[in-house]
Amino acid sequence: MKTIVVPIVKNRTGDIADKGNYRPISLATVIAKVLDGVLDSCLNNYIHLHDAQFGFRPGLSTESAILGLKHTVQYYKDRGTPVYACFLDLSKAFDLVSYDVLWRKMGDRGIPAEICGLFQYWYGNQVNNVKWDDAVSEPYRLECGVRQGGLTSPRLFNLYVDDLLVALSGMRVGCSVDGVRINNISYADDMVLLSPSAGGIGELLKTCEAYAAAHGLKYNVKKCEYMVFEVSGKRRGEGPDLILNGSPISRVSTFKYLGHLLAADLRDDVDIERERRALAVRSNMLTRRFARCTDQVKITLFKAYCQSLYTGSLWVDYTKRSLDALRVQYNNAFRMLLRLPRYCSASEMFAQARTDGFYAIIRKKTASLLRRVRDSHNSILKTVTESFGSPIFQKFVRRLIITNTRQ
């Protein structure tokens, strides 16, 4: 039951002397990993989570959560109603899970006593050592918290907070789309509250406060922020302050939610620029480090590092200038990596290298997202596809047609 804990820096551009800027990752033995995998399969048969939870679930992803949020906001904006979105940050959520509460919740879900007993014995007898370079700390035991890096840890944490999602979704406040209550969306410990009014957000926050207090969780109010997705031509004033644990929550015009930059006007230009900058950094790194490799190796690296275009499938409202800037960056990255002439034909160079061009990547990502959303049983995602009149669904289809004609 011995585990090595390795601190990993969260933000490399932040203060590396700040202990809060590190995430402890547990490295278990091979036998422990096998046992963890078996237990995770067993838990899957008994733990059924609320549809508002998108984290660490098959068929769902960060893109799915962002899509659910953007679709809900667009639904209200099309009807002339603004949406308040409050983004909550739990401090060290995985490390504050109370074992007594977790074991009780496992029993309430009908998980066999044998499986619960294995977890209780494992966590009760686990010995941890922190490793820093070549130094190893004195052994210590955990009094709370699930192991970060463990296979069962995400599922156990989702179980720990699932009752909060059920309670929030059962309230008659917040956003609702086609009869489906969508007043909260979570990806593990990242939660956003949605309501067409500040009063509704206030009621949802009170429920979150009470749940956190009863379960030993803490919100970092300094990192909690809220946005107001305004309706064009109906801009409001500052509005009332939102309060969490007695402290006001800051209002922002942009927020980075699960790596995707959201703007108050719901336009995607700021997120496209984020991806353009990230692509420039990755392509420059490849060009500098792998200059002497063969072309085939460079093409493989390009596909792995430059074709991800994170959340590119969600871009539906942007200017041509923004997308063209990203496309040019994508083409130039390939030219620099393979040392091709600056003004050579983009379509020709990608064809010769048997590599997808920019619009092909966008089209494939959009088609993949639509297929996953259409095949999903998640009630929130079903609101996107059940009606062909869904604004965001129509934009996806229209963009597929446009990018196909440009190829």
Pairing of strands 225-229, 247-251: parallel
Average pLDDT over the chain, rounded to an integer = 90
**Residue 194: closest CA among 314, 343, 52:** 52
pTM of the model as a whole: 0.91
pLDDT band, residue 176 (cuts 50/70/90): very high
Give the model confidence (pLDDT) of 81-107 as tens digits. 999 999 999 988 888 999 999 999 999
pLDDT at 229: 94
Contact 56, 154 (CB under 8 A): yes
> CA 315 to CA 268: how far, in whole Å?
6
pLDDT at 210 over 90: yes
Task: Give the model's pLDDT for residue 64.
Answer: 94
The number of beta carbons lying within 10 Å of the beta carbon of residue 19 is 8
> When comparing pLDDT for 161 and 393, which is higher?
161
pLDDT at 236: 61
Among 215, 220, 165, 163, residue whose Cα is nearest residue 187? 165
Question: Tens digits of per-residue pLDDT, 369-384?
Answer: 888 988 999 999 998 8
Per-residue pLDDT tens over the stretch 154-165 = 999 999 999 999
Structural Rg of the chain based on CA atoms: 23
Give pLDDT, residue 384. Answer: 86
Please choose, from the candidates 266, 242, 350, the residue with its C-alpha nearest in 3D space to the C-alpha of residue 314: 266
Model confidence at 167, in pLDDT bands (50, 70, 90)? very high
Residue 71's nearest CA partner among 165, 177, 142 is 177
Which helix (H) or strand (E) element contains residue 148?
Answer: none
Q: Please determine, for residue 19, whether its predicted confidence score (pLDDT) is greater than 60.
A: yes
203-234 burial, b at 16+ Cβ within 10 Å, e below that, comes to bbbebbeebbeebebebebeebbbbbbbbeee
Q: What is the average per-residue pLDDT within 31-37?
A: 89
What confidence tens digit (pLDDT) does each residue in 223-279 have? 999 999 988 766 665 666 899 999 999 999 999 999 999 999 999 999 999 999 999
- Which residues face 4 on adjacent strands? 27, 129
The answer on pLDDT for 282 being more than 60 is yes
Which pLDDT score, from 0 to 100, does residue 388 have?
60
Q: At 376, is the secondary structure helix, strand, or coil? A: coil
Residue at 383: amino acid letter: T
SS3 88: strand
With a cut of 80, say whether residue 309 has pLDDT above it. yes
* Segment holding 39, helix H or strand E: helix 30-44
**pLDDT value, residue 134:** 82
pLDDT bin (cut points 50, 70, 90) of residue 335 is very high
